[in-house]
Amino acid sequence: MGGLAERDNAVLWDITCPTRPSRVSGVSMAGFRDRGIAPSGLRLIPHPTVTLVLVFGGTLAMEDAAGRRRQGSFATGLGFGDVVRTLRADAYEALQVRLSPAVARAVLGTTDLGDAVVTLDELCGREAARVSDRLNDLSSSEDRFAWIDAWIARRCAVASPVDPEVSWAWRQIAATRGTVRVERLAAELGWSRKRLWSRFQAQLGLPPKRAARLVRFDHAVHRLVAGQDAAGVAADGGYTDQSHLHRDVAAFTGLTPATVVDEPFLAVDDIAWGWPGRRNSRIR
């Protein structure tokens, strides 16, 4: 199913979405074909998933705030380590896969990617070239979605699962939009706060308080994009005040609540990740 992403009346990307959900819970996918006119240096906005970008046509590179550059297929960690990253590209085609932390650990062997852009070669070795070649050989988006979904399912089937208590804690953080207190999670599990903190960080790559902050930010920033005022978003989203929201937006993106809403990779979320089978949607 197709969609178009526009900025200033120029089509930046053709976007395709799967017609059915992944067989693995916690996995979502979208296909991007760059039209070759997107401005260089686009900012990727932190998200509470591990993001896997599988490039099979053209050139796509990531550059972090320190100027480190990676080209080809890559992964970024949960929240990108609070480091603003930019994307530079020639015309390209790619599948973008969002993996919940528990799934990412099974698929990639880790969720602790720190503040670096990690290439698929570094994570998967020779398997990375096989993935890229196979995606390039397939002729349709649906075939690519199906093949990657099966690849993810196979890797999950042979991986050691995350502790059920840790998975439960993550689901509670996501379900409460990051407003649940870590002490409450620990108490409901019958664990000490220290035990939850250490298990959660060891298995998901970040401590639970930071995970909650990231989830809270993600919901807040999308409400800002939807046109809600910053004061209302702060009050309803678990922030102590509007200044608290401002600090989080600045920490995760380097922007203010007033300017972050113009970022293309936030505006495109409704098309790429709204729901499967979305047709002919446009963002201006």
Domain residue limits, the chain = 2-160, 164-260
What does the pLDDT read at residue 83?
60
Helices 208-225, 182-189: inter-axial angle, 10-degree rounding: 130
What does the pLDDT read at residue 176?
95
264 contacts 45 by C-beta, under 8 angstroms: no
What does the pLDDT read at residue 44?
81
What does the pLDDT read at residue 10?
54
Give the Cα separation of 73 and 53 in Å (integer): 5
CATH fold of 2-160: Jelly Rolls (2.60.120)
Q: Which CATH superfamily is domain 164-260 in?
A: Homeodomain-like (1.10.10.60)
What does the pLDDT read at residue 279?
39
The string of DSSP codes covering 175-225 is: HTTT-S-HHHHHHHHT--HHHHHHHHHHHHSS-HHHHHHHHHHHHHHHHHH
Residues whose CB is less than 8 angstroms from the CB of residue 90 and which lie 6 or more positions away in sequence, other chains included: 34, 36, 58, 59
The string of DSSP codes covering 89-135 is: EEEEEEEEEEE-HHHHHHHHS-S--TTS-EEHHHHHTTHHHHHHHHH
pLDDT along the chain (284 residues), means of 10: 52 84 92 73 83 86 75 81 68 90 85 72 87 92 95 92 94 95 96 95 91 94 93 94 95 91 82 53 32
Report residue 103: phi and psi, to 5°. Answer: -70, -40
What does the pLDDT read at residue 30?
93
- Threshold 0.95, pTM exceeds: no
